[in-house]
Amino acid sequence: MPTTATSIRDEIRRANDTFEASFERGDAAAIADLYTTASVLLPTGMEPIEGPQGIQAFWQGAMSMGVKQVKLKTRDIEELEDTAIELGSYTLFDENHQPMDQGKYLVVWKEQQGHWKLHQDIWNTNLPAPAAA
């Protein structure tokens, strides 16, 4: 049965809700499970991070550096058969619920084994770059 645009949006929203809840629990493994087996993260200022193990380690590292909560806000989703492209914004919070970073993201979602999963994930901050010393 083909997935409708409404259900694709609903599935992506549920996956984003799971991402946020898993982050609050400090569960990097649950976050990595939201990605495809051939997934790639493209974080700002870093080399690409490939596969669920690397992605789990990346998000665990972010948690260890003090990021305690993530809020994702979808701006738009474009559906293309077994692929969807999500444009959105994010806010990262510390343990005192203070914003640490705000920015935008673009995620390519792929349908894998009947579930929509993050396949390619890139983001960058809206905060200005630090001044040169």
Strand partners of residue 89: 73, 104
Residue 96 structure tokens:
């005192």
Give me the mean pLDDT over the 18-23 stretch.
98
Which pLDDT value is given to residue 1?
A: 40
| Domain spans in the chain, listed from the N-terminal domain onward | 5-125
Q: What percent of the chain is modeled with pLDDT above 90?
A: 84
**Neighbouring residues of 61: CB distance < 8 A, sequence distance ≥ 6:** none
Q: What is the pTM of this model?
A: 0.91
- Reported confidence tier of residue 131, pLDDT bands at 50, 70, 90: confident
Strand partners of residue 118: 35, 109
67-70, long-range: CB within 8 Å, 24+ apart, which pairs? 67/23, 67/92, 67/93, 67/94, 67/100, 68/23, 68/24, 68/93, 68/94, 68/95, 69/20, 69/23, 69/24, 69/93, 69/97, 70/19, 70/20, 70/23
Tens digit of pLDDT for each residue in 29-54? 999 999 999 999 999 889 999 999 99
Write down the mean pLDDT value for the chain.
Answer: 94
Tens digit of pLDDT for each residue in 87-111? 999 999 999 999 999 999 999 999 9
| CATH 3.40.50.800 is right for the domain spanning 5-125 | no
